[in-house]
Structure 1
Amino acid sequence: MSTDAHVARRDAIADYRIVGAERLPHLERLVALAAAVCGVPTAVVNIIDDTHQHQIAAIGLEPAVCAREDSMCAAVLHESRHIWVTDAREDPRFAQNPFVTGQIATVRFYASSPIVTPAGITIGTLCVFDDEVGELTAQQSEALDTIARQVVEILELRRVAAELRRSNEQLAQFASQVSHDLRNPLTALGGFLELAEDDPGLTDAPMAAESVARARSVAARMTDMVVDLLAYARAEGVQPRRVETDVAELASSVIEDLDAAIESTGASVAVEAADPVVVGDPTLLRALLQNLVANAIKFSSAAGVSPRIAIRAEHVGDAVRLTVDDNGPGIPVDDRERVFGLLERGSTTEGTGLGIGLATCRRIAESHGGRIGVEDSPLGGARVWVVLPDTTATDAQATLTA
């Protein structure tokens, strides 16, 4: 094997972080299945590096480590294919192996399937063996190959989960720094606005006094949002607060916060949400709606039209459906799932943002037990819809039952 291949295998094994890891129950269940399917007492998942064979999951023996030169699986690792022998004593690859001669064990029947990463790198085997001679049917051979592929699936899931944990930790650190950087100027802004409100001259300028008061209100809401969103980013898996929130009031605060963008683009924003009350975290739901409305204004304006935005909320069965419509360029069908990925943007929105907003919206919706999606809007652009469980109805029913 070339030096590059050795390096690739070492790197692949290191990426999975399984050598020396704690017990892996999912792999243990797979080796038990392999042993049962093949009708043998022993099955092992072996990871083989440059110097050693590491048994990371086993049934029929305690997992251990042995030198690579003593490994039966290492002798056939380069073949990277399913192998089985009725009696290892009669196979030149294994006849002098200490696992066969009695120095370590007395293996007779042996079968293995390679563990191959998605990149095509063989890092070990799933092997079954017995002290008695044996056979494998074609169906058993196929099953062993299938279980070996499942081993890779589990290793990949562990790797991705570990990467996500590291990514979330880095994101939390980033969010903490950004929060600090944002809160300081917001605090200063609030202080200056408070001083401005106390200026006696404002009593003779009611319009200015009203503008300062609105600015203080917006700054306070921004501060609350930064603090709460940071806490949410840090508290992975923690359920959001459950508070009755009037959608019309929510929309009104969002429109006020986006007043500058609405005025500068000449946008019109209509709200039809007289009835629905949703139960959820007000700060997170406001962030969700503000993202959707801000996106609608931005993309419609970028398309060269005067933005028309419609916010609507209605009861649909045992849920509340919230929609934000616009008259912008819309989102192509092929992009409608992709745009919810972190750092993803639709093909019609290049250069208009970092692609974080919709990913945040999906996370907020799902944390409330809801769903989010995109479809065509009757206004000619995109309609983003959010369906949230109507827990107010559930709570009322529970009260009546009690």
Structure 2
Amino acid sequence: MPADQLDRDALLAPYDVDGALDEPDLRSVAALASHVCGVPYAVVNLISEHFQHQVAAVGITPAVCAREDAMCAVTIETPEPVEVPDARADPRFAANPFVTGRLGLVRFYAASQLRSPSGAVLGTLCVFDEATGELTDAQRHALDLLAGQAVAALELRRAYRALTATTRDLADARDELERSNSQLAAFAGQVSHDLRNPLAGVVGFLELLADHPAVDAGPAAGRHVSRALAAAGRMREMVDDLLAYARVGGTLRVGRVDLGELLREVLDDLPPGTLDAAQLDLGVLPPVRGDRTQLRAVLANVVANAVRYARPDRRLVLRVRARPAGDRWVVEIADNGRGVPPARREEAFALLRQVHEPGTVDGGSGIGLATCRRIVTAHGGTIALDDGLDGGTTVRITLPSA
């Protein structure tokens, strides 16, 4: 776009120019331009909608002037390099206040455009003198090269400011996340405490009622009490799961974790007989870098889901494999259970979300996979679902290598 049609304030906004500057790197470029061209004055200018900002200068103090008074405001709209031996004889500059004596007595003037990586003209690198003169071909070429160096310095300044702002935003986000996690854990702990006490009372009274002779006399009443006890047990499990979910994301106690040993512990802790009929195909699992307690929770949830969602018409098969991937390990835990439809696999990681139709299976709380994702993400890894064995599910986890 032609320079006179650009929104110049928006163009210069990322460079954070408001008034005159005196950037050391740009001053060095101006000093080289002055020396190479053999003139006493050199200026790096950025031109906004209404002003010329001298961001570095040699021979004068950087200042700001109105754009209509700036000789370089003409230069940014000229496609070829500008060189004027005597500005009084050039109709573009003869009436300019920097030539007439109102603001200066410029005679010789030469400038190269400062073009951003996108090609937009930001301003100029100009050299001038109060005596007439001209540049050699070598000087002209050097001035153009130095204009490129001025742009590089401006881009470095812009990138540094952007990086500083991003770092500050990330630090603020980290602080907010830590505060939020702390509040979530405290809230969940309080809710857990407030729910456990009345829930324990409900369970206690239901157990007393189950042992009451009147219940023995009424089979329907017995069934109702059994269902109530089961519901209370599920509620207690949900409270425990919520508390575990809320606590994820705090400080990790990171160390070397043997996943093979951890998986054996998880399998040993299952209720007796859970896997008696199952076919286990456990490959060699590697050591990884992580928090042992939290990674144990991940494996426990995945194995529990494989058991919970096993198909009643077939023998449960559980296959575990691991393979290296750069500085990480990919762990795959596959089963031949009910599986998760591809369209709902990401949804399965949402908190309190059940992806199987109600009544088709005695599902969990809908918190386990959400907890797994929080834990794995806190370790800098990933977790996803894929096709399993014979229509089942594969849980794929990546974790940092030890």
Q: What is the CA deviation profile of residues 174-220 of structure 1, one whole-angstrom value per residue up to 9, with x for unaligned ones?
A: 85896588557623542255324575469999999997786565444
Which runs of structure 2 are paired with 1:155-234 in the superposition (5 Å)? 156-158=158-160, 160-161=162-163, 164=166, 168=170, 171=173, 175=177, 179=181, 182-183=184-185, 186-192=188-194, 194-195=196-197, 196=199, 200=204, 218-227=241-250
Corresponding position of 2:62: 63
Equivalents in 2 of 1:107, 1:269: separation in Å?
Answer: 88
The residue type equivalent to 1:225 in the other structure is V
User: Is 1:73–2:72 an aligned residue pair?
Assistant: yes
Equivalents in 2 of 1:148, 1:51: separation in Å?
Answer: 22
Equivalents in 2 of 1:42, 1:350: separation in Å?
Answer: 69
Q: What is the CA deviation profile of residues 298-317 of structure 1, one whole-angstrom value per residue up to 9, with x for unaligned ones?
A: xxx9xxxx998856488x9x
Larger deviation, residues 212-221 vs 46-55: 212-221
Corresponding position of 2:83: 84
Corresponding position of 1:49: 48
Corresponding position of 1:147: 149
Q: What is the CA distance between 1:122 and its match in structure 2?
A: 3.2
The residue type equivalent to 1:186 in the other structure is A
Q: What is the CA deviation profile of residues 216-247 of structure 1, one whole-angstrom value per residue up to 9, with x for unaligned ones?
A: 6544442232555xxxxxxxxxxxx7742525
Corresponding position of 1:397: none
Alpha-carbon spacing, 1:113–1:100, altered in 2? closer, same or farther (3 Å): same
The residue type equivalent to 2:330 in the other structure is T
The residue type equivalent to 1:157 in the other structure is A
Q: What is the CA distance between 1:386 and its match in structure 2?
A: 5.3
Would the aligned equivalents of 2:51 and 2:64 in 1 still touch at CA under 8 Å? yes
TM-score by length of 2: 0.53
Alpha-carbon spacing, 1:111–1:18, altered in 2? closer, same or farther (3 Å): same
> Which blocks of at least 5 consecutive residues in structure 2 are unaligned?
209-225, 271-279, 310-315, 335-341, 350-371, 383-388
Corresponding position of 2:255: 244
Would the aligned equivalents of 2:3 and 2:120 in 1 still touch at CA under 8 Å? no
Equivalents in 2 of 1:364, 1:272: separation in Å?
Answer: 21
- Secondary structure, aligned partner of 1:66: strand
Corresponding position of 2:357: none
Equivalents in 2 of 1:37, 1:382: separation in Å?
Answer: 66
Q: What is the CA distance between 1:47 and its match in structure 2?
A: 1.9
Equivalents in 1 of 2:30, 2:344: separation in Å?
Answer: 49
Corresponding position of 1:104: 104
Q: What is the CA distance between 1:269 and its match in structure 2?
A: 10
Q: What is the CA deviation profile of residues 108-163 of structure 1, one whole-angstrom value per residue up to 9, with x for unaligned ones?
A: 24222134473x54342233445563414264254135325425533652564366
Alpha-carbon spacing, 1:141–1:55, altered in 2? closer, same or farther (3 Å): closer
Q: What is the CA deviation profile of residues 12-64 of structure 1, one whole-angstrom value per residue up to 9, with x for unaligned ones?
A: 23344222487645544554565566565544332222332111233444321
Equivalents in 2 of 1:269, 1:42: separation in Å?
Answer: 80
Which runs of structure 2 are paired with 1:340-351 in the superposition (5 Å)? none
Q: What is the CA deviation profile of residues 245-283 of structure 1, one whole-angstrom value per residue up to 9, with x for unaligned ones?
A: 52539976xx99xx9xxxxxxxx9968446x363x6x49
- Secondary structure, aligned partner of 2:77: helix
Would the aligned equivalents of 1:100 and 1:108 in 2 still touch at CA under 8 Å? no
Equivalents in 1 of 2:64, 2:261: separation in Å?
Answer: 61
> Which blocks of at least 5 consecutive residues in structure 1 are unaligned?
229-240, 260-267, 328-347, 366-370, 373-378, 391-402
Corresponding position of 2:211: none
Alpha-carbon spacing, 1:215–1:40, altered in 2? closer, same or farther (3 Å): farther
Equivalents in 2 of 1:130, 1:4: separation in Å?
Answer: 27
Corresponding position of 2:354: none
Larger deviation, residues 94-103 vs 45-54: 94-103
The residue type equivalent to 2:91 in the other structure is P
Corresponding position of 2:339: none
Q: Which has the larger radius of gyration?
A: 2
- Secondary structure, aligned partner of 1:322: strand
Alpha-carbon spacing, 1:363–1:191, altered in 2? closer, same or farther (3 Å): closer
Alpha-carbon spacing, 1:161–1:201, altered in 2? closer, same or farther (3 Å): same
- Secondary structure, aligned partner of 1:93: coil
Q: What is the CA distance between 1:73 and its match in structure 2?
A: 0.6
TM-score by length of 1: 0.53
Q: What is the CA deviation profile of residues 43-93 of structure 1, one whole-angstrom value per residue up to 9, with x for unaligned ones?
A: 433222233211123344432112223211112222255433444444332
Would the aligned equivalents of 2:34 and 2:41 in 1 still touch at CA under 8 Å? yes
Q: What is the CA deviation profile of residues 322-367 of structure 1, one whole-angstrom value per residue up to 9, with x for unaligned ones?
A: 323478xxxxxxxxxxxxxxxxxxxx9999479xx99x989965xx
Corresponding position of 1:122: 121
Alpha-carbon spacing, 1:4–1:72, altered in 2? closer, same or farther (3 Å): closer
- Secondary structure, aligned partner of 1:79: coil
Corresponding position of 1:323: 330
Equivalents in 1 of 2:14, 2:344: separation in Å?
Answer: 33
Corresponding position of 1:375: none
Equivalents in 1 of 2:207, 2:94: separation in Å?
Answer: 100
Equivalents in 1 of 2:39, 2:321: separation in Å?
Answer: 64
Would the aligned equivalents of 1:307 and 1:326 in 2 still touch at CA under 8 Å? no
User: Once superposed, what is the RMSD of the aligned Cα atoms?
Assistant: 6.0
